[in-house]
């Protein structure tokens, strides 16, 4: 008897969800191939920015890495979750909530992706491959994916036992099954940027921002004003990650991206608006950041199913979410880990049962987290909610402040990894 043939997964999308899924499925004994339209691995991509990893995600990633200590070495601690505001025209911050048991770590997207990607066999990734379509066999036991090799325009086919849609919140694969699904525009966008201050540690900009935000390097700061808020935290290698949420009509976006390129006029206008709201220290950080960009903030109502025969959705393809619960990356990592455990438990001959269990574990959790993140965003942006008046940091009660804290996220510290 020959050795039993390994099951094979075709993963579409090589961002965090895709690369995490590759690790989880390889750990489960599968062969994987990842199709990614980008021509090469990201190198400090300008549209990549900061993210925060929770304790569960950290443990999962470390289990995938041959050198687990590298994760600690490429991230900074976020031990404090702080919400604050400024009273009147005074430059003095008033702390609304402060949780000193936060226990997350801050990473730059490109650093985390590089860490995960470099720990995979090189042949797993097919760069410069644009997903076109798929078809499942009549008995639903195999799937054939068609892709275009962008360098040569050649159309190729790849066969597998499972298709994993890790192709983001605008997922083309999801559209095959849910053609009428529309993303919900939040009513606001986020200006984002990462200021690299290496070599400028003693500049007035950095000294003054550290004076106003003294816990940079260990604190996730949320700065609230009436109808707006900003986020600030430090990344490894002398970088500051900032986000500013701004109400505006939904931008017209061409192409398949929620990231917008911006003109120099738009950037100048953003600086002028920032000066009306934020202290000069934060504005200076924004001004000195190269290539700030805009994320259009979408989510969607929770899906009723996240697998279809032997096609499964993970990450933002399964549950587009707003960033207010620092969930997107963490949900992708948890999706991957749970999917890996389920296919390992059920075996390649029982893929429907494995996907059923994956959905049963992940869908209720992700759905609650998406809706909670939406609610927190609407509160912090001073938007209407059915059960409360718009939040204003100047007039809100201590009880209302408590709702701002990250630890209120459903399943905050204990996301289930299996069915009890």
Q: How far apart are CA 407 and CA 347, in angstroms?
A: 36
Phi, psi (rounded to 5 degrees) for 99? -110, 115
Q: What is the mean pLDDT of residues 143-159?
A: 97
Q: Each residue of 13-58: pLDDT tens digit?
A: 999 999 999 999 999 999 999 999 998 887 755 456 899 999 999 9
CATH number of the domain enclosing 365:
3.50.50.60
Residues 261 and 318 reside in one and the same domain: no
- Confirm whether 256 is domain-assigned: yes
Q: How far apart are CA 193 and CA 47, in angstroms?
A: 8
Judge contact between 243 and 282, C-beta under 8 A: no
Q: How far apart are CA 70 and CA 58, in angstroms?
A: 11
- Confirm whether 396 is domain-assigned: no
- Confirm whether 403 is domain-assigned: no
Residues 263 and 348 reside in one and the same domain: no
Looking at 242, 273, 299, the residue that finishes a domain is 299
Q: What is the DSSP letter of 320?
A: -
- Confirm whether 275 is domain-assigned: yes
Report residue 303 as tokens: 């899906």
- Confirm whether 401 is domain-assigned: no
Q: Each residue of 78-126: pLDDT tens digit?
A: 999 999 998 765 566 899 999 999 999 999 999 999 999 999 999 999 9
- Confirm whether 333 is domain-assigned: yes
Residues in the chain: 420
CA nearest neighbour of 215 among 200, 234, 194, 201: 234
Query: Which domain does 136 fall in, by range?
Result: 8-69+111-182+300-388
- Confirm whether 417 is domain-assigned: no
Q: How far apart are CA 185 and CA 318, in angstroms?
A: 17
Residues 276 and 327 reside in one and the same domain: no
- Confirm whether 418 is domain-assigned: no
Percentages helix, strand, coil for the chain, rounded to the nearest 5?
Answer: 35, 30, 35
CATH number of the domain enclosing 233:
3.30.9.60
Q: What is the mean pLDDT of residues 339-361?
A: 96
């Amino acid at each position: 008897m020959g050795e039993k043939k390994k099951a094979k997964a075709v993963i579409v999308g090589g961002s965090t969800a895709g690369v995490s899924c590759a690790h989880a499925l390889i750990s489960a004994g599968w062969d994987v191939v990842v199709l990614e339209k980008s021509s090469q691995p990201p190198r400090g991509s300008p549209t990549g920015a900061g993210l925060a990893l929770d304790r569960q995600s950290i443990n999962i990633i470390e289990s995938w890495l041959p050198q687990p200590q590298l994760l600690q070495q490429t991230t900074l601690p976020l031990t404090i979750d702080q919400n604050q505001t400024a009273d009147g025209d005074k430059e003095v911050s008033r702390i609304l909530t402060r949780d000193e048991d936060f226990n997350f770590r801050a990473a730059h997207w490109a650093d985390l992706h590089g860490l995960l990607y470099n720990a995979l066999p090189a042949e797993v990734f097919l760069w410069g491959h644009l997903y076109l379509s798929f078809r499942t066999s009549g008995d639903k036991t195999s799937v054939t994916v068609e892709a275009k090799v962008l360098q040569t325009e050649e159309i190729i086919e790849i066969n597998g036992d499972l298709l994993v849609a890790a192709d983001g919140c605008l997922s083309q694969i999801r559209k095959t099954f849910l053609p009428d699904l529309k993303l919900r525009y939040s009513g606001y966008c986020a200006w984002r940027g990462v200021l690299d201050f290496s070599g400028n540690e003693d500049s007035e900009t950095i000294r003054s921002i550290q004076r106003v935000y003294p816990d940079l390097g260990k604190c996730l700061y949320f700065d609230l004003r009436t109808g707006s808020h900003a986020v600030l935290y430090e990344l490894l290698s002398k970088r500051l990650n900032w986000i500013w949420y701004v109400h505006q009509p939904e931008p017209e976006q061409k192409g398949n991206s929620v990231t917008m390129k911006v003109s120099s006029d738009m950037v100048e206008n953003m600086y002028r608006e920032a000066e009306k709201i934020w202290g000069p220290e934060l504005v200076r950080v924004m001004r000195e950041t190269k290539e700030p960009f805009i994320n259009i903030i979408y989510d969607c109502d929770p899906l009723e199913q996240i697998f279809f025969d032997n096609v499964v959705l993970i990450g933002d393809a399964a549950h587009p979410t707003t960033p207010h619960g620092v969930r997107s990356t963490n949900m992708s990592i948890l999706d991957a880990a749970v999917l890996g455990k389920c296919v390992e438990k059920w075996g390649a001959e029982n893929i429907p049962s494995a996907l059923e269990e994956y959905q049963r574990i992940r869908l209720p959790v992700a759905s609650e987290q998406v809706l909670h993140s939406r609610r927190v965003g609407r509160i912090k942006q001073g938007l209407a909610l059915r059960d409360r008046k718009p939040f204003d940091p100047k007039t809100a009660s201590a009880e209302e402040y408590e709702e701002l804290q990250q630890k209120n996220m459903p399943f905050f510290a204990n996301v289930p990894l299996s069915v009890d």
